[in-house]
Structure formats: structure tokens, C-alpha cells
Amino acid sequence: MPEGPEIKRAADELALAIKGRKVSHVYFAFSRLRGFSKKLVGAKILDVSSRSKAILTRFDNGLTIYSHNQLYGRWLILPTGDYPESSRSLRLAIHARDNMALLYSASDIEVIKTSELKHHPYLNKLGVELLDPNIDLNDVISRFNDTCFQRRKLMGLLQDQGFISGMGNYLCCEALHVSGIHPGMRLFDLDRSQRVRLAKNCFKLTRQTYKTGGITNLITRANKLRKAGLDFEDYRFHVYRREGLACYKCNATIIKGRYAGKVGYICPACQSLNK
């Protein structure tokens, strides 16, 4: 599933293509939404933004399209014209002047009054947004010290959008590894310095990933590996999807396992439960 950085980058691209333009046509695949097509034609697109893993397309008539890509959703931006042939199902199309934004495969799409967004069941439960420009590291550290979350295992907790929003599986694995913390531990098991270190790395790596288009690895290392001829997927991560390869820190073999019911990747030496 795309994580917060990928969704924010998609929202940025959508904003560049359609923000500030009037809608000439809207297509909804779902019959329950088709009545909104006429209401949106002629409306101006005020903004396209992301909240955690959702995208909000806001119009000047008081309506907002909420969309969540889920596992397979994908946005495509093209010059206005015929829709491309695709094995995916087109769920939503927004035509604005000479561009069209097409959302394929996603099924979580709603049209909501903008004034009521704060009551949306997904949006109103989000925790601290790691990519929110108004959030700083101290806000994230405070969240990690909140007594409500102390006994949750970290592999599940860090991916809970109600705790901190924007992280998914790969960012969770990477932040835990860089912090030297086993995914089966709980906040309760960490001392203050470990909690601060983990909060800092969650904050830092999520923002780095957004800026770099998906790199959580050390930038200097990633650049060196790229210049050596490695593909993007082979140089972007510390441990994620590197099962059987050597840890960059200690040369131990990276393993894949299940932690708190979720698949994850760790270095058993750097992330020992006994550390």
C-alpha cells in the first residue's frame, strides 16, 4: 500500500495539473456518487492535499472529493482526451481544462461537504501527521511519551494511523532498524533516549522519503550504490526487502519475520530483543 510520502507526492502532482482550474467533466464509476457529477461541473478546484494516506480534492462550491488509494489505487494525469486502455478499473476522472486526473482501482471514494471533513471517520482519528509542515519533532516526541500507547508492540503501533499518520510497513521497518530497536518491543520497554531516537527517525525518514521519492537509506550510500549500477529498489532501503543480504551496519544477515501479525525485516544483531 502506498504510504504517506507517496500519497503526498501524488497530491502534489495532482495539484500542479488541476488546481485553480474549473471542472469540465467528472466521471464516477460508483452509482452512489454519480449524482455529484453535475454539481461539480463548473466548480473551481481550490486545492489538492493529502491527509495520511488519503487525498482531498477541494472545490469552491463547498464540496470535497475524499479518496483513499488503499492497496491498488493509482492516479494517472494525462492531457484531456480518450482514456488509455488499462487492465485496471477506472473509478474516478476529473477533467479540468487541458488535463484529466484519473484514479484507477481504488474503491474508497466519497464526496463530502468541506465543512464536515473534520467528522469523517478516517480523518478525525488520525494521529500526529509526520508530513504536516506545522508539526515539529517535539510534537512527535510528545506522542511517543503518551501513556495511552505504551503497551502496544511497535510493529503494529507505528503503522497505526491513529498514533502517528503517514507511516506504513516499509517506513516502520526502516525507522526501527535505524533506531536499533526490535519490532516486538513496546514503547513501555524503551528508555527515554530510545523513545526520542525512534520518534526522531520516524519523523526524519518519512520526510526524507517524501523529498527523495522513496529513499530511506543513507543518501550518500544510496548515491554510491546508484553510481555503481544498482537499480532503485536495490539501493533505496536499509533492511526492507533485503532478506538474506548483509546489514550495512554490522554485516549480519538480514531476516524476514512476522511481528505483531505483520511481515517485517530486521537485522538480528542490530535489533536484538536483549539490547
Q: Which pLDDT does position 72 carry in this prediction?
A: 87
Supply φ then ψ for residue 145, to 5 degrees.
Answer: -95, 0
pLDDT digits (tens, 9 = 90+) for 133-152: 999 999 999 999 999 999 99
In this structure, the answer to whether residues 211 and 83 fall within a common structural domain is no
Domain count, the chain: 2
Confidence band for 128, pLDDT divided at 50, 70 and 90? very high
CA 25 remoteness from chain centre: 28
Average pLDDT, the chain: 96
Q: Among 155, 177, 197, 170, which Cα is nearest to 250's?
A: 177
Residues spanned by the domain of 19? 4-119
**pLDDT at residue 102 tops 90:** yes
In this structure, the answer to whether residues 164 and 79 fall within a common structural domain is no
CA 204 – CA 137 distance, rounded (Å): 9
DSSP state of 127: -
In this structure, the answer to whether residues 144 and 108 fall within a common structural domain is no
In this structure, the answer to whether residues 149 and 41 fall within a common structural domain is no
Q: Is 201 contained in some domain?
A: yes
Q: Which pLDDT does position 275 carry in this prediction?
A: 61
Q: Render 49-116 in DSSP notation, one character per residue.
A: EEETTEEEEEETTSEEEEEE-TTT-EEEEEESSSPPP-SSPEEEEEEETTEEEEEES--EEEEEEGGG
Rg (CA), the chain: 20
In this structure, the answer to whether residues 262 and 140 fall within a common structural domain is yes
Query: Residue 223 belongs to a domain with what CATH number?
Result: 1.10.8.50
Q: Which pLDDT does position 273 carry in this prediction?
A: 84
**pLDDT at residue 274 tops 80:** no
Higher pLDDT, 260 or 208: 208
In this structure, the answer to whether residues 115 and 154 fall within a common structural domain is no
Give residue 246's identity as a one-letter amino acid code.
A
Query: What global pTM score does this model have?
Result: 0.93
